[in-house]
Chain A
Amino acid sequence: MQFFFEVLIGGLLSGVMYSLVALGFVLIYKASGVFNFAQGSMVFFAALTFVGLLEKGLGFWLALPATLAVMIVLGLVIERIVLRPLINQPQITLFMATIGLSFFIEGLAQLMWGANVRGLELGIQDEPLQWVSDVAGVNVSKFDLVAAGIAAVLVSTLAIFFSRTRIGRALRAVADDHQAALAVGIPLQQIWGIVWAVAGAVALVAGLLWGARNGVQFALTFVALKALPVLILGGFESIPGAVVGGLIVGASEKLAEVYVGPYVGGGIEGWFPYVLALLFLLVRPEGLFGEKIIRRI
């Protein structure tokens, strides 16, 4: 039983890391109804910029706000150059634009900082907390715990800002119909600017934590793929959904690996979340917290 809890807790905590990435997707989706293909690239870009600045000799506490500023500027520039000319275009056009954007950002990141794999040391040890092991007999990684804490703060801040208020309503309006949103006086450009800047900031947090765990390398862009089942489970437009989805994916993939894996030769952690998401699509296509799509036929 102890072992079960250890796996479960480890899974839940790693799930929080997925939620972090999923969060960036949710923000953009809420404000434009579009899956932002470039989110993974933004995570990569943020981590690489941060490490690059560290290498240039900046201290941690200088590099952090500097990278944050870069990400916010990046978000605002994207709104101005890429999105603004696409107002009133079909959503698929916006989606295609984000695909192009992802290639551009990946290229830009490597052009600026080079393509070498780098380590990132945040000063948080990835080792079990001694007192938890002593008291409960369960090993809980300190790094995971800190990551979960950071994610919790981020999520609750965003949830407060975007839920049940005028801002939330404005976001939904913008995602639903650009023309109508403009006609009722919602400043579309401003909202997109804010949301992309915030998505950039979220990408920075995700980039730092994932970079510290896996190394800062091109493969960081693929972390975004793990966010996909999280989004399908949680719902594309829900911040709490991203959290719950992340927890489910994290816990279930670890448990499945440990308990089901041996029967099928192991290594199922990699694909289990996608199967789970697929099954979920059959039962509840809008996700746990997503908006039900209503159509009059």
Chain B
Amino acid sequence: MTTAAARPIGDVILTLEHISLAFGGVKALADISFDVREHEIRAIIGPNGAGKSSMLNVINGVYRPQEGTITFRGEVRRNMEPHHAAAQGIARTFQNIALFKGMSVLDNIMTGRNLRMRTSFIEHALHWGRANREEIENRHRVEEIIDFLEIQHIRKAPVGKLPYGLQKRVELARALAAEPSLLLLDEPMAGMNVEEKQDMCRFVLDVNGQYGTTIVLIEHDMGVVMDISDRVVVLDYGRKIGDGVPDEVRSSKAVIDAYLGAAH
């Protein structure tokens, strides 16, 4: 396994302060604050329904919190449109794979380059030199990512036909194609077998190590989480019950209670 020592953890790039989110009467998140430092792998864990995915959705603008502020790279905001979040360098994957099923792997990953393309509609439509060059440049970047994630052999395959584990990998590839500074992974290893999980772990660590991408991930597999993350936030019923390095979290009484059930 790659060592974490190679990448120095930098300053705080994302701060969430007093985030509260409710759907009608249901409180999904209550007064949650934590931060994410540059180049780190930050895990969010918690039992089912703890509000982990809601948290990611707040970060990338799908949900608008009723209270609290989000500071990303010095810019304070209350809420945000998802495509603005993408423009700011936040990419993500979804819990229930959200790929473009009818398109090939290559086209799916190319959509990730969407924001990197600068030429106008008209130039593109007429296949002007600049637009063509741009398309080719972007193809190069995409091919690098394909090599990186070892999915060369399925490059042309329609995504809908691939097995689940590979679809997850393609989704990661699409997120990486945007060259994000912050990558949100919603249960990247859910439903995978041991071997696939090991592969995915390796990819997550490599992305972090080679590209220096900051990663926020949600994962249920405690072994994985404790192995690869630098710091862990623990949520339970929408509240934060733990925050720290894996060892601290592991020995925290509140966390153990939440997972195993407290003896009352």
Query: Do A180 and B98 touch (CB < 8 A)?
Result: yes
- What residues of A have a CB within 8 angstroms of the CB of B111 in the complex? 169-170, 173, 181, 184, 186
Bound Cα distance from A166 to B135, whole angstroms: 9
Bound Cα distance from A161 to B131, whole angstroms: 13
- What residues of B have a CB within 8 angstroms of the CB of A295 in the complex? 160
| Identity of the chain B residue whose Cβ is nearest the Cβ of A170 in the assembled complex | B114
Query: Do B86 and A182 touch (CB < 8 A)?
Result: yes
Residue interface bits A173-196, CB-to-B below 8 A is 1, else 0:
100110111111111100000000
- Asked if A185 meets B160 with Cβ closer than 8 Å, knowing A169-B110, A177-B100, the reply is no
- A111 close to chain B: CB less than 8 A: no
Return 10 A-B CB contacts under 8 Å, by A number. A165-B131, A166-B114, A170-B114, A176-B102, A179-B62, A179-B94, A181-B100, A183-B86, A185-B87, A294-B160
- A172 close to chain B: CB less than 8 A: yes
Query: Do A177 and B99 touch (CB < 8 A)?
Result: yes
- What residues of B have a CB within 8 angstroms of the CB of A172 in the complex? 100, 102-103, 107
Query: Do B158 and A294 touch (CB < 8 A)?
Result: yes
Q: How many Å from the CB of B133 to the closest CB on chain A?
A: 13
- A160 close to chain B: CB less than 8 A: yes
Query: Do A184 and B112 touch (CB < 8 A)?
Result: yes
Q: How large is the interface on B (under 10, 10 to 19, 20 to 34, 35 or more residues)?
A: 35 or more
Known: A166-B114, A183-B98. 7 other contacts (CB 8 A): A176-B103, A177-B99, A177-B101, A183-B60, A185-B83, A185-B87, A294-B101
Query: Do B125 and A167 touch (CB < 8 A)?
Result: yes
Tally chain A residues at the interface, Cβ within 8 Å: 26
Residue interface bits B71-93, CB-to-A below 8 A is 1, else 0:
00000000001110011000110
Q: How many Å from the CB of A1 to the closest CB on chain B?
A: 42
- A56 close to chain B: CB less than 8 A: no
Interface residues, chain B, with chain A CB atoms under 8 Å away: 60, 62, 81-83, 86-87, 91-92, 94, 98-103, 107, 110-112, 114-115, 117, 121, 124-126, 131, 135, 158, 160-163, 174-175, 178
- What residues of B have a CB within 8 angstroms of the CB of A183 in the complex? 60, 82, 86, 91-92, 94, 98, 175
| Identity of the chain B residue whose Cβ is nearest the Cβ of A161 in the assembled complex | B125
Bound Cα distance from A120 to B9, whole angstroms: 72
Checking A167, A187, A296 against B121 with a beta-carbon cut-off of 8 angstroms, the contacting residue is A167
- Asked if A184 meets B174 with Cβ closer than 8 Å, knowing A177-B100, A291-B102, A296-B161, the reply is yes
- A293 close to chain B: CB less than 8 A: yes
Interface residues, chain A, with chain B CB atoms under 8 Å away: 160-161, 165-167, 169-170, 172-173, 176-177, 179-188, 291, 293-296
Closest 3 CB pairs of A and B: A185-B86, A180-B98, A182-B82
Q: How many Å from the CB of A98 to the closest CB on chain B?
A: 21
Checking A173, A184, A188, A293 against B91 with a beta-carbon cut-off of 8 angstroms, the contacting residue is A184
Query: Do B114 and A184 touch (CB < 8 A)?
Result: yes
Query: Do B102 and A294 touch (CB < 8 A)?
Result: yes
Bound Cα distance from A180 to B103, whole angstroms: 13
Bound Cα distance from A170 to B56, whole angstroms: 24
Q: How many Å from the CB of B213 to the closest CB on chain A?
A: 16
Q: How many Å from the CB of B109 to the closest CB on chain A?
A: 10
Bound Cα distance from A165 to B86, whole angstroms: 21
- What residues of A have a CB within 8 angstroms of the CB of B107 in the complex? 169, 172
Query: Do B124 and A185 touch (CB < 8 A)?
Result: no
Bound Cα distance from A294 to B156, whole angstroms: 14
| Identity of the chain B residue whose Cβ is nearest the Cβ of A157 in the assembled complex | B125
Bound Cα distance from A186 to B87, whole angstroms: 9
Bound Cα distance from A185 to B82, whole angstroms: 7
Interface centre among A167, A172, A185, A291 (most CB of B within 10 A): A185
Q: How many Å from the CB of A159 to the closest CB on chain B?
A: 10
- Asked if A186 meets B98 with Cβ closer than 8 Å, knowing A160-B125, A166-B124, A294-B160, the reply is no
Q: How many Å from the CB of B232 to the closest CB on chain A?
A: 24
Interface centre among A166, A188, A291 (most CB of B within 10 A): A166
- Asked if A185 meets B114 with Cβ closer than 8 Å, knowing A169-B107, A180-B100, A293-B102, the reply is yes
- What residues of B have a CB within 8 angstroms of the CB of A186 in the complex? 83, 111, 114
Bound Cα distance from A177 to B112, whole angstroms: 14
- What residues of A have a CB within 8 angstroms of the CB of B124 in the complex? 165-167
Bound Cα distance from A184 to B114, whole angstroms: 7
- What residues of B have a CB within 8 angstroms of the CB of A161 in the complex? 121, 125
Q: How many Å from the CB of B217 to the closest CB on chain A?
A: 15
- What residues of A have a CB within 8 angstroms of the CB of B60 in the complex? 183
Bound Cα distance from A294 to B124, whole angstroms: 28
Bound Cα distance from A167 to B114, whole angstroms: 9
- What residues of A have a CB within 8 angstroms of the CB of B81 in the complex? 182
Q: How many Å from the CB of A271 to the closest CB on chain B?
A: 32
- What residues of A have a CB within 8 angstroms of the CB of B112 in the complex? 184
